[in-house]
């Protein structure tokens, strides 16, 4: 299987901060990577697909980049509603989709 590793596993930040989350794949997955946001007790919500394409309605402060094995999700200016857990997910192997372990963004 393709192992997805996120770092950090958690971080503390203040409103207005620029936040960067890293996702590493155990093998080359080209650009077949999505990002989701999950708030406590809620289902995940798609933020970005194929590395850098924002889902409709997602604020432009979210951006994604990368290819191959290393990817980043950046929140340009953290807002109160952005405190959540973020997951990356690969779809290079459509017969065994896998997610990262998550990055919890907490209020400093």
Partner 1 sequence: QVQLQESGPGRVKPSEALSLTCTVSGGSISSSFWSWIRQPAGERLEWIGRIYPTGSTNFNPSLQSRVAMSLDTSKNQISLTLTSLTAADTAVYYCARDLERRPPKKRSFWYFDLWGRGTLVSVSS
Give the binding site for partner 1 (CB under 8 A): 1, 32, 34, 36, 42-46, 49-50, 53, 55, 87, 89, 91, 94-102
At its nearest, how many Å lie between partner 1 and the CB of residue 24?
Answer: 14
Helices (H) and strands (E) in the chain, counts: 0, 11
Q: Is 61 exposed, middle or buried (0-12, 13-18, 19+ CB in 10 A)?
A: middle
User: Six-digit token pair at 68?
Assistant: 């191959």
Nearer to partner 1 (CB atom), residue 29 or residue 75: 29
Instruction: State whether residue 1 is helix, strand or coil.
Output: coil
User: Are 108 and 16 in contact, with CB atoms under 8 Å apart?
Assistant: no
Nearer to partner 1 (CB atom), residue 36 or residue 71: 36
At its nearest, how many Å lie between partner 1 and the CB of residue 48?
Answer: 9
Nearer to partner 1 (CB atom), residue 30 or residue 74: 30
Measured in whole angstroms, the distance separating CA 20 from the mean position of its chain's CA atoms is 9
At its nearest, how many Å lie between partner 1 and the CB of residue 11?
Answer: 17
Nearer to partner 1 (CB atom), residue 43 or residue 80: 43
């Amino acid at each position: 299987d393709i192992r997805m590793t996120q770092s950090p596993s958690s971080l503390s930040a203040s409103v207005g901060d620029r936040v960067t989350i890293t996702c590493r794949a155990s093998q080359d997955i080209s650009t077949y990577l999505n990002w989701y946001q999950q708030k406590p007790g809620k289902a995940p919500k798609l933020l970005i697909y194929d590395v850098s394409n924002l889902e409709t309605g997602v604020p432009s402060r979210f951006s994604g980049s990368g290819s191959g094995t290393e990817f980043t999700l950046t929140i340009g200016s953290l807002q109160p509603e952005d405190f959540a857990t973020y997951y990356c997910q690969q779809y290079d192997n459509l017969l065994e989709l896998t997610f990262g372990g998550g990055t919890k963004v907490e209020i400093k």
